[in-house]
């Protein structure tokens, strides 16, 4: 079997890259270790930057997003009992975000892949990239008990944090930067109308909470919890009571409760590996970087990497610009680091670090909140990062 670009992983990165390259006339084969049902069962991100939404439009998969997605022009921040609306549109010269679940983005991309007839192989096990530094890279995998070989020009490692791509780079090549936070987020999905028409990020002495949403009838709520917490210990009732305790009385009163469709705990961590290229292998999305979800950047940074790799590969195949391949890692990383900084900053700003912050750090956190939420420049700073910084040109 052979192709131009072998894509490992059918998460948002792999599927979006595959769709954009298909539209540009570049052949790809996507190899995914799970079944499509399993991939669609993962409840994850829900806020798309304008640049991500535009990229989905360019990929021709935006019809349902533009019909059903919710354009949000602001978010609310609740700090020290003060409720403040961040006017994203007004503060950024007209930019907004789109509330549309990662599951729906993935479903739209899977359907587009199927309609295109381009190959995608689910339940592919033991996927392994080879000859990354050589002229003839290839990927081997097993399917239905048979071993297959896929020859290609380039390999896109879109296989997330636990994937094989990053691990196949020899030891000592990658430099890893990591920050682990002393808490996680307990998330709950429910078919209840959102408590507010915009997202609410709430700092509270009991811990951070986020009132998010997937649609006008489906809500996603999060609570900051200690790392050792177990999801089995959180009944629906306990979750709702704790959320109400962290919200002001008028908001808590509006909260419509109901049975959980899903509950899970995700530890918070920041991680980046550099460089994002090794020979003919390119790391994309969570395979190269993880952010705490506080800034809503995980999926958006994955889309940002796809944007750069797609534009470079089009110039490689159409114009012979192989010189651009080395630009992928520095271009992608410049934007990744800004997303990492913002996610780290929002996590610092809004969470309760308890004994993990000393008295000085606590005061700095309070001063940051005071400054960023009262100064016009501080508000613009948060707003322009939240809606997403611009992509650089690939030239």
Ligand X SMILES: Cc1cc2nc3c(=O)[nH]c(=O)nc-3n(C[C@H](O)[C@H](O)[C@H](O)COP(=O)(O)OP(=O)(O)OC[C@H]3O[C@@H](n4cnc5c(N)ncnc54)[C@H](O)[C@@H]3O)c2cc1C
Q: Please pick, among 204, 297, 315, 351, the residue that the annotation labels catalytic.
A: 297
Q: Does 8 bind ligand X (CB under 6 A)?
A: yes
Selected range binding ligand X among 20-28, 196-204, 297-305, 370-378, rule: CB under 6 A: 297-305
Q: Does 159 bind ligand X (CB under 6 A)?
A: yes
> In this structure, are residues 385 and 338 in contact, taking their beta carbons and an 8 Å threshold?
yes
Q: Does 298 bind ligand X (CB under 6 A)?
A: yes
Helical H segments across 163-261, by residue range:
236-245, 249-254
Q: Does 311 bind ligand X (CB under 6 A)?
A: no
* Residue number, 168 or 348, with CB nearest to ligand X: 168
> In this structure, are residues 73 and 88 in contact, taking their beta carbons and an 8 Å threshold?
yes
Q: Does 296 bind ligand X (CB under 6 A)?
A: yes
Q: Does 285 bind ligand X (CB under 6 A)?
A: yes
The tokens for 4 are: 């131009």
* Residue number, 14 or 74, with CB nearest to ligand X: 14
Q: Does 275 bind ligand X (CB under 6 A)?
A: no
Q: Rounded distance, CA 335 to CA 389, Å?
A: 8
Q: Rounded distance, CA 186 to CA 12, Å?
A: 23
The tokens for 204 are: 């509270």
Q: Does 51 bind ligand X (CB under 6 A)?
A: no
Sole residue written with tokens 């339940």: 123
Q: Does 13 bind ligand X (CB under 6 A)?
A: yes
Q: Is 181 a catalytic residue?
A: no
Q: Is 371 a catalytic residue?
A: no
* Residue number, 44 or 369, with CB nearest to ligand X: 44
Q: Does 309 bind ligand X (CB under 6 A)?
A: no
Counted residue by residue, the chain has a size of 395
Selected range binding ligand X among 18-26, 154-162, 229-237, 368-376, rule: CB under 6 A: 154-162
**Burial bucket for residue 117 (CB in 10 Å: 0-12, 13-18, 19+):** exposed
Helical H segments across 271-375, by residue range:
298-319, 328-350, 359-374
Q: Does 33 bind ligand X (CB under 6 A)?
A: yes
Number of residues engaging ligand X in binding (CB under 6 A) = 33
Pick the closest to residue 8 from 140, 96, 193 (CA basis). Answer: 140
Which residue among 20, 21, 45, 247 contacts ligand X (CB under 6 A)? 45
Q: Does 158 bind ligand X (CB under 6 A)?
A: yes
Q: Does 48 bind ligand X (CB under 6 A)?
A: no
Q: Is 72 a catalytic residue?
A: yes
* Residue number, 110 or 321, with CB nearest to ligand X: 110
Q: Is 376 a catalytic residue?
A: no
Q: Please pick, among 222, 289, 293, 315, the residue that the annotation labels catalytic.
A: 293
Q: Report the Cα–Cα distance between both ends of the chain, in Å, rounded.
A: 33
Report the residue closest to ligand X, judged by CB.
11
> In this structure, are residues 89 and 116 in contact, taking their beta carbons and an 8 Å threshold?
no
* Residue number, 44 or 280, with CB nearest to ligand X: 44
Rounded to the nearest 5°, which phi and psi values hold at 21?
Answer: -70, -35
Query: In the bound complex, what is the minimum distance in angstroms from residue 263's beta carbon to ligand X?
Result: 11
Sole residue written with tokens 């700090």: 79
* Residue number, 26 or 290, with CB nearest to ligand X: 290
Q: Is 23 a catalytic residue?
A: no
Query: In the bound complex, what is the minimum distance in angstroms from residue 352's beta carbon to ligand X?
Result: 19
Ramachandran bin of 332, using left for φ above 0, alpha for ψ from -120 to 50, beta for the remaining angles:
alpha
Which residue among 56, 120, 127, 260 contacts ligand X (CB under 6 A)? 127
Q: Please pick, among 221, 317, 328, 386, the residue that the annotation labels catalytic.
A: 386
Beta strands in 144-295 (DSSP E): 146-151, 154-157, 175-190, 200-202, 209-213, 219-226, 260-274, 277-278, 281-283, 289-290
Mapped onto helix, strand or coil, the DSSP state of residue 192 is: coil
Q: Please pick, among 201, 221, 278, 308, the residue that the annotation labels catalytic.
A: 201
Residue 277 CA: distances (Å) to CA of 24, 151, 154, 290: 22, 19, 11, 17
Residues that bind ligand X (CB under 6 A): 8-14, 31-34, 39, 44-46, 102, 124, 127, 158-160, 162-164, 266, 285-286, 293, 296-299, 302
Query: Which residues are annotated as catalytic?
Result: 72, 201, 293, 297, 386
């Amino acid at each position: 079997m052979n192709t131009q670009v072998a894509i490992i992983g059918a998460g948002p990165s792999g599927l979006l890259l595959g769709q954009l390259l298909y539209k540009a006339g570049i052949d790809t084969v996507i190899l995914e270790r799970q079944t499509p049902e399993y991939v669609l069962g993962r409840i994850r991100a829900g806020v798309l930057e304008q640049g991500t939404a535009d990229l989905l439009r360019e990929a021709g998969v935006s019809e349902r997003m533009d019909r059903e997605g919710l354009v949000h022009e602001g978010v609310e921040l609740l700090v020290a009992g003060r409720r403040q609306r961040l006017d994203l549109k007004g503060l950024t010269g007209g930019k907004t975000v789109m509330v549309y679940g990662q599951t729906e983005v993935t479903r739209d991309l899977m359907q587009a892949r199927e309609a295109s007839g381009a190959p995608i192989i689910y339940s592919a096990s033991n996927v392994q990239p080879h000859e990354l530094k050589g002229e003839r890279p290839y990927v081997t995998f097993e399917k239905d008990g048979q071993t297959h070989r896929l020859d290609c020009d380039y390999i896109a490692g879109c296989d997330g944090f636990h994937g094989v791509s990053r691990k196949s780079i020899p030891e000592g090549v990658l430099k890893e930067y990591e920050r682990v936070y002393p808490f996680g987020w307990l998330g709950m999905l429910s078919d209840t109308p959102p408590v507010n028409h915009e997202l609410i990020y709430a700092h509270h002495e009991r811990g951070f909470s986020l009132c998010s949403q997937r649609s006008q009838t489906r809500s996603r709520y999060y609570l900051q919890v200690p790392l050792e917490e177990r999801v089995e210990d959180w009944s629906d009732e306990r979750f709702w009571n704790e959320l109400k305790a962290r919200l002001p009385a008028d908001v808590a009163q509006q909260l419509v409760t109901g049975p959980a469709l899903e509950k899970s705990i995700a530890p918070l961590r920041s991680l980046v590996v550099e460089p994002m290229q090794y020979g003919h292998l390119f790391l994309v999305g969570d395979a190269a970087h993880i952010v705490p979800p506080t800034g809503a950047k995980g999926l958006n940074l994955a889309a940002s990497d796809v944007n750069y790799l797609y534009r470079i590969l089009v110039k490689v195949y159409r114009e012979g610009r192989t010189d651009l391949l080395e630009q992928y890692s520095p271009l992608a990383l410049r934007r990744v680091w800004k997303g990492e900084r913002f996610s780290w900053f929002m996590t610092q700003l809004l969470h309760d670090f308890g004994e993990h912050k000393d008295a000085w750090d606590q005061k700095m956190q309070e001063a940051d909140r005071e400054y960023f939420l009262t100064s016009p420049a501080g508000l613009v700073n948060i707003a322009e990062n939240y809606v997403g910084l611009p992509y650089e040109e690939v030239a």
